Amino acid sequence: MSFSPKTRARCWIVTVQEKNMVSAGLTKEQYFDYEFVADYFIGLWENSGDNRKAGLVVCKSALGLYHLHMACYGNTTTLKSVADILYHSHVEPQYGGKDALKSYLLKDGIYSEKGEIVLLQKNLDVIEDAQGKRSDLEEIARLLKEGQTPQQILRSNLQYYRYEKLILHAYTDMRIDTAPVKLDVYCEWHLGESGSGKTYFYNTLCDKYGKDKIYIVTDYDNNASGGFDGYMRIGCPPILFMDEFKGCGISYQKLLKEIFMQDEIPIIINYLKSNPDIYNLGILLTFQTGLRVGELSTLKKEDLHGHVIKIRRTEDKYRNENNKWVVTIKEHAKTDAGNRDLIIPSTALTTLNLILELNPSGTYLFEHYNKRIRGNTFNKRLSAICDKLQIPHRTMHKIRKTYGTTLIDGDVDEGFITEQMGHSDISTTKKLYYFSNKTMENKEKQIENAICF
């Protein structure tokens, strides 16, 4: 019986011949290694999508034909998709129960074939009954029972977004039912001023435990990223990272200080351009490039290459054994991703030319009386400017967050944003650096344009 390539199902039986193994790029030595070829084809299927699993037997027929039989399971897809993933192997939908299928794969009972040899069996415990097409709710219930998180379920099938609230409520009820009355918790505090590496510790935890094991909170009153709203959605990760925690809720006015607002940016840019001394030009360049203040204060002429600034060093500040602050220069960026070629706009080129006119022969771009200007000096100047312009105080790091927000709002390619910011992952930029800076008038206009019924 032949089946259309458009046949849809979630349970499949696959026969993999030697020609398919060769098409997969395996050598003869590899595909005659039973364990290797079994792991390879199971991995092909299971890594091709969420919630996919497979069992397999390695066989040799009476005529000596070497082949594999697979039972593949996952969300509903087409026969053609399955065949394409498994290098155009023969594919049929599964009919009937798991006991019958196991007997077929192992050639037991009525399926016994003279001379057929089963060389290896693997993962046959994943075999399921083929019960016909399940409803969406039945499939969602199965995924919840298997331990999938709401986010994993939603990503597995776009159709499930219509049940988003139901999925979240059901998952929450399940977690409450199984939650212990008492749970031991380990708490670690990282204290320090802006730029001292507190947020960097988040990246260290991600490298050590995996990003899916950590939930990061950057606001505590739901005015920005929603606080803990997404915690249950992604499966209650065991590590909670509370960034910028100040011991109490953050009001909307405090939240505004995370970045420069849309109506403040032209005011401060105009002031910096109208008063172009070496300090103000450094602040202006940060608005135009998103540089870390430690990177800004250690720039050299040799780092400039037209529309590219090569970021290869940064300022480091730490306390020595006598508890005194020490400021040094590291000949590498803050992180591996921080070592980057930063693309700059024409406005930044103009700013750099003005800086070179003011300091044509210095070792560093930013010097005062032949001494390098430290990062904290830029912060002090920025604070004074905010006072003068009567806008809330921000640090140089908030300019960097403003730059990240501007790139995201400007629909810049996400991969390019991570390169510009010196981040390893766009989630770092979105979670820690993105805040809406639109004015109330702009927000009202957006709503008017969006809602016209």
Measured between alpha carbons, how far is 372 from 364 in angstroms, rounded to an integer? 6
Cβ 407 vs Cβ 345: under 8 Å: no
The pLDDT assigned to 234 comes to 83
The pLDDT assigned to 226 comes to 47
The pLDDT assigned to 292 comes to 93
**Helix or strand or coil: residue 15?**
strand
Interacting residues of 358 by C-beta distance below 8 A, sequence separation 6+: 277, 278, 281
Measured between alpha carbons, how far is 51 from 180 in angstroms, rounded to an integer? 28
**Helix or strand or coil: residue 257?**
coil
The pLDDT assigned to 222 comes to 44
Mean pLDDT, 10 residues at a time, the chain of 453 residues: 78 93 94 95 90 92 90 89 94 82 81 79 86 68 84 82 83 80 80 67 84 75 52 84 63 60 92 96 96 95 94 86 84 81 93 96 94 93 92 89 89 88 81 64 60 47
The pLDDT assigned to 211 comes to 83
Q: Homologous superfamily of 265-440 in CATH?
A: Intergrase catalytic core (1.10.443.10)
**C-alpha dihedral sign at 346, 351, 354, 355:** negative
**Helix or strand or coil: residue 132?**
coil
Instruction: Tell which residue, 305, 243, 267, has the closest CA to residue 392.
Output: 267
Same fold, 8-126 and 265-440: no
Domain ranges of the chain: 8-126, 136-178, 200-253, 265-440
In the structure encoding, which two tokens stand for residue 191, read together? 């204290």
The pLDDT assigned to 439 comes to 62
Q: HSE, CB side, 13 Å, CA atoms: give it for residue 329.
A: 15
Q: May I ask the CATH class of domain 8-126?
A: alpha beta
Measured from the Cβ of residue 402, the count of other Cβ atoms closer than 10 Å reads 25
How far lies 11's CA from each of 74, 82, 83, 276, 389, in Å?
Answer: 7, 10, 13, 69, 66
